[in-house]
Structure 1
Amino acid sequence: MTIPRTVRAVQGTDGVGEPHALAKALGLAVIPAVSLGFARFAYALVLPAMRTSLDWSFATAGTLTTANAVGYLAGALAAPVAAARLGERTVLLGGVLVTAASLAASALSGAMAVLLVLRLIAGIAGAAAFIIGGSLAARLGASDRGHSPALLLGVYFAGGGLGVALSGALVPAVLGASHWRAPWLLLGVLSLAVVPGCLPALGTAERRADGAAQARRERWPARTLAALLVSYGLFGAGYIAYMTFIVAFLRQHGAENSQVTVFWVVLGVAAALAGFAWSPVLGRLTGGRGSALLMGVVTVGAALPLVSASTTASYVSALVFGVSFLSVVTAVTACARQSLPARHWTAAIAGLTTVFAIGQCLGPVLAGTLSDGPSGIRAGLAIGAVLLAAGAIAALAQRQNRADAAA
């Protein structure tokens, strides 16, 4: 029976005191909750209040997102090397703790230079933790016969959705009762509070440090995933435009704190549940077809506010976008896992995250600059939807590859 096995996997052990793979994946899910849900996406919730208080343009607001993305790029490049030298456990825990500290420190100053540095640090540390956590989640699928790799990866990435939902439930309420600085302190405290959840899964990280060193010495065959790399870069540029400016768009159209809260919670809960819902579909799709399907759904969600700015349309947009955007990461990671030997997984995830981060560096500046033009935020959201559609088309060009062939 499937349900009892799943319950045992979450609550039980394998008979020798070691948590099952699903329980480990649930524990690891706190990593994307912090590195994505809190450190990346929650900025959109605080952005309107910061713009008003600090008199920022949309281009300036986008620059802070770009600083975080540049840090994410640096973290993606550094993660495999740092893991080989320091061990995966050290990099993962250190990344989460530094991310938490940078979030809390963002409450201390309104100076642009200080905030840029803190967003940069949050990006570096968050990316390092996210990549190592993703590599560990990918390994769980190789060692557990009771659950599909797509499900375990989906559970891991669903943590980002839980982070979005939690921040959406708390940050608007805090903003309504205090200054923009208070949410940053809250996010830092929340990040520290959830760290213990990932500790049971880190025994695997310690045993795999030597494997990371071996993978570092051997270049991974990036050409195997060329189309996926292009697609993922376009996705990074497109989705971040929506996630950065959608709340500002809603505020411009009269959304109150309660509406923003509902919007963000719907988006986050949909993203968390999608990790379970999409796994059977992704398990049947090969090559880049899973990524293309999900990017197509994300495109629809991103384009809906351009059709109607009504409250109902915004909630539907949150649902459609939320149910698909984090699952793109699952699909991309699953494709890399299918196509490459296990020794290349950490380097491949880092490489994919690198092009993703490059897209995230370019997307906010482009969308922010367009948002300052005559068409306003609508133009910034439109370019995001166009980039997402281009990413879906590019993903279709990714052929099916097998790990043994790549080896």
Structure 2
Amino acid sequence: MSTTKPCGQLADGVSKLASITSLVAATAVSQAFGRFTYSVLYIEIRDDFDLSNTLAGSIGSLNLVGYLLGSLLVAYTIGNLGLVRTARHGLLGVIIGLLLLTWAPNMAVVTFALFLTGLAAAGVWVTAPALATKILGVEKQGLAVGWVTAGVGLGFFFACVFDAALQTWRSVYQIEALLGITTFALLYLSIKTSEATSSQSGISPAALRQIPGWLNLCLTYGLFAIAASLTLTFSAALLEDDAGFKEQSASLVFALIGLGLALGGPTVGWLADRIGRKATQLASLASLIASCVLITTGLPFVAPAGTLLFGIAFTGVVVNITTKVSSHLDGEAFGAAYAVLTIVFAAGLAVGPQLGGIIADSSGSFRPALLLSAACGFCALCLTFKDLDLADRNR
């Protein structure tokens, strides 16, 4: 039998704004810097070590395999560690990985560091939505999830700006490592944890089954993950290699994904609280499909509009799925169940880079990878319509 304990509390004299800011920064460091910066620097790292797209894509997949294993680890340890300690340990692991990347004399170090950042990032992402909801209140859970998701967008945006402004990819990781250390101090000082323990640990499919349409939710999240990983990994490469964008221009256009994530997070969360998750989920998936097609064109103004739309659509899907889980479960129960869902998401993410790299090498273009992303988004949209139809029949 599990016991309930406070998942996180404001430190003495700390405002809600400061605590939410620390969570936003933590998701920026763990997800954007630790996981998605490699997508921004893909061409530079590939060319620096003279890699094929298949091998470079495989390295990206290892980062996501690490995220998958990290989700499993979180599921088994969150009951003992609690949400706050899990987030702290995860953020610390990401920082160590970023520090390794600032040095990285060979591809073996890069590969290990990216695996480590993926492994540790799960500790932050699984816990941040529940902590944010605890701070802002259940009635604002959509907004809470939106804010932590916005952190990913802000981090992604700045990663692209750093890439455009700095000379080498290692310099980008140096700045990100310094920001990570600052964020860890902020998180440690702003949110305190209880010493109480919980017996709830391990993977909890039983908790996940409490959510109506849980299986459909898992399938939708998995397909969305494949689509997202393909787009995030290969959009910048498509703009540079296929569309002829200069490196700095491609990075700045790619930064619009981060801007879309940052703007879409609180906006979509606010809309989900008011007009419902169903409407925003359908709109988000439809926008995802459209964005992939727009990016594939490689046209000036059209492709940048597609990257911005993708960022907003990505946020919409993540916010609505996360909010659906948090509306049925809270505390460590949310963390354990969401870890299971994150495992599905991570598995989908791990498939994308490897598959896209093979497609790019065989076709000589990154466009087919983006079209496959759109196809996965369409399948997820069909599953969502089916889920809504079943819900209407059961009324």
Q: TM-score range by the shorter chain?
A: 0.7 to 0.9
CA 1:45–1:18: 2 relative to 1, 3 Å: closer
Equivalent residues of 2:82, 2:332 under 8 A apart: no
Give the match for residue 134 of structure 1: 129
Equivalent residues of 1:244, 1:364 under 8 A apart: yes
Report how far residue 18 of structure 1 moved.
Answer: 5.0
- Structure 2: how far apart are the matches of 1:277 and 1:401? 28
Q: Write the deviation string for residues 261-287 of structure 1: whole angstroms up to 9, x where unpaired.
A: 421332212211112221232124556
Which of 156, 163, 172 matches 2:155?
163
Give the match for residue 293 of structure 2: 303
Give the match for residue 210 of structure 1: 197
User: Which amino acid letter does the alignment assign opposite residue 209 of structure 2?
Assistant: A
Equivalent residues of 1:299, 1:388 under 8 A apart: yes
Q: Is residue 228 of structure 2 the alignment partner of residue 239 of structure 1?
A: yes
Equivalent residues of 1:92, 1:132 under 8 A apart: yes
CA 1:161–1:400: 2 relative to 1, 3 Å: farther
Give the match for residue 361 of structure 1: 350
Equivalent residues of 1:27, 1:200 under 8 A apart: no
Residue range with higher mean Cα deviation, 334-343 or 99-108: 334-343
- Structure 2: how far apart are the matches of 1:139 and 1:400? 32
Give the match for residue 39 of structure 1: 34
Give the match for residue 5 of structure 1: none
- Structure 1: how far apart are the matches of 2:260 and 2:277? 25
In structure 2, list runs of 5 or more residues that go unmatched. 1-9
In structure 1, list runs of 5 or more residues that go unmatched. 1-13, 403-407
Structure 2 counterparts to residues 22-101 of structure 1, below 5 A: 23-101=18-96
SS of the aligned residue for 2:15 comes to coil
Give the match for residue 114 of structure 2: 119
Which of 320, 323, 339 matches 2:312?
323
Equivalent residues of 2:80, 2:201 under 8 A apart: no
Residue range with higher mean Cα deviation, 254-263 or 34-43: 254-263
Q: Write the deviation string for residues 29-52 of structure 1: whole angstroms up to 9, x where unpaired.
A: 112101111111111221111222
Equivalent residues of 2:130, 2:331 under 8 A apart: no
Q: Is residue 15 of structure 2 the alignment partner of residue 19 of structure 1?
A: yes
CA 1:38–1:400: 2 relative to 1, 3 Å: farther
Report how far residue 62 of structure 1 moved.
Answer: 1.0
Q: Write the deviation string for residues 291-331 of structure 1: whole angstroms up to 9, x where unpaired.
A: 3331221221122122x212211210121011221232111
CA 1:379–1:160: 2 relative to 1, 3 Å: same
Q: Write the deviation string for residues 345-399 of structure 1: whole angstroms up to 9, x where unpaired.
A: 1112111111000001111111111111125211111111111221222233445
Equivalent residues of 2:77, 2:201 under 8 A apart: no
**Percent identical residues:** 24
Q: TM-score of the superposition, structure 2-length normalised?
A: 0.87
Q: Is residue 323 of structure 2 the alignment partner of residue 314 of structure 1?
A: no
Give the match for residue 6 of structure 1: none
CA 1:122–1:194: 2 relative to 1, 3 Å: same
Q: TM-score of the superposition, structure 1-length normalised?
A: 0.85
CA 1:153–1:78: 2 relative to 1, 3 Å: same
Aligned length: 379
- Structure 2: how far apart are the matches of 1:42 and 1:400? 39
CA 1:133–1:375: 2 relative to 1, 3 Å: same
Give the match for residue 165 of structure 2: 173
Report how far residue 289 of structure 1 moved.
Answer: 4.9
CA 1:156–1:67: 2 relative to 1, 3 Å: same
Equivalent residues of 1:157, 1:326 under 8 A apart: yes
Q: Is residue 388 of structure 2 the alignment partner of residue 391 of structure 1?
A: no
Equivalent residues of 1:228, 1:288 under 8 A apart: no
Q: Write the deviation string for residues 241-263 of structure 1: whole angstroms up to 9, x where unpaired.
A: 11101111111122224412421
